[in-house]
Chain A
Amino acid sequence: NAGVTQTPKFRVLKTGQSMTLLCAQDMNHEYMYWYRQDPGMGLRLIHYSVGEGTTAKGEVPDGYNVSRLKKQNFLLGLESAAPSQTSVYFCASSYGSSEQYFGPGTRLTVT
């Protein structure tokens, strides 16, 4: 099992550009999450999904969109990147409201 994988690992964007971060899990988990991690802020939930075709907003959803077209994939989109979105992004998955398994992260810099 690969667990939770994320692509890309690193990305640099210019302000206003768009991109999509891909998360994939092979554990047949129903729940998937996107977090961002900033220095001194811990991890904050952006969006989450409780199943294929469903998504919901987390603590800091503004400027991001998500899609869960397949159970194993959860995509995070930035339509118009801003420097405030410079962060490390982590995807996670779980069997319901229990232990979450995290991916290795994507380091995004917006200039």
Chain B
Amino acid sequence: GESVGLHLPTLSVQEGDNSIINCAYSNSASDYFIWYKQESGKGPQFIIDIRSNMDKRQGQRVTVLLNKTVKHLSLQIAATQPGDSAVYFCAETDSGGGADGLTFGKGTHLIIQP
């Protein structure tokens, strides 16, 4: 299948600053996108999702932006906190293609500097 990838493997930000994590995807049929957070030794945890009929969605301190023209997805975390340190994965699926799971990017390790 087509791959989903991330631009940077590691992102280091100061506590309190905003973080932006980027993701590129190549499957033009993808219509559902999710961001997951994975802390060390734990399973991925859902953060926020967005469908292809939207270009922005906001949650608590997080915003996901989708640019279908350039097949780009980003996760913005406002006022980062130490608890935000984790690996962040974007994932995509073509929901019309059946339940064959999500295609994950390789992840970005977000490090929060005190």
> Given A42-B107, A43-B89, A98-B32, A48 and B100 touching (CB < 8 A)?
yes
Partner of A99 from the list B34, B100, B101 (CB cut-off 8 Å) is: B34
The answer to whether the Cβ of B61 comes within 8 Å of any Cβ in the partner chain is no
Which residue, of B1, B34, B44, has the highest number of chain A Cβ atoms within 10 A?
B44
Partner of A105 from the list B43, B98, B105 (CB cut-off 8 Å) is: B43
Stretch at the interface among A33-41, A62-70, A71-79: A33-41
A54 CB to nearest chain B CB (Å)? 10
Whether the pair A102, B43 counts as a contact (CB closer than 8 A) is yes
- How many interface contacts (CB-CB < 8 Å) are there between A and B? 61
Contacts of A35 in B (CB 8 A): 101
A3-18 interface with B by 8 A CB criterion = 4
> Given A97-B95, A99-B34, A45 and B100 touching (CB < 8 A)?
yes
**Distance, CA A39 to CA B104, complexed state (A):** 13
Contacts of A92 in B (CB 8 A): 43
Whether the pair A48, B99 counts as a contact (CB closer than 8 A) is yes
B95 CB to nearest chain A CB (Å)? 4
A8 CB to nearest chain B CB (Å)? 15
Is the contact region of chain B dominated by helix, strand, or loop, or is it mixed?
A: loop
B45-67 interface with A by 8 A CB criterion = 45-46, 49
23 contacts between A and B (CB under 8 A): A4-B43, A35-B101, A40-B106, A41-B106, A42-B104, A42-B105, A42-B106, A43-B89, A44-B104, A45-B101, A45-B102, A48-B99, A48-B100, A50-B98, A58-B101, A59-B101, A90-B43, A98-B49, A99-B49, A102-B36, A102-B44, A104-B43, A105-B43
Q: Give residues in A with beta carbon < 8 Å to B.
A: 4, 31, 33, 35, 40-45, 48, 50, 56, 58-59, 90, 92, 94, 96-105
Ranked 8 nearest A-B pairs via Cβ:
A102-B43, A97-B95, A45-B101, A42-B104, A42-B106, A43-B104, A102-B44, A50-B99
Q: Give residues in B with beta carbon < 8 Å to A.
A: 1, 32, 34, 36, 41-46, 49, 89, 93, 95, 98-102, 104-107
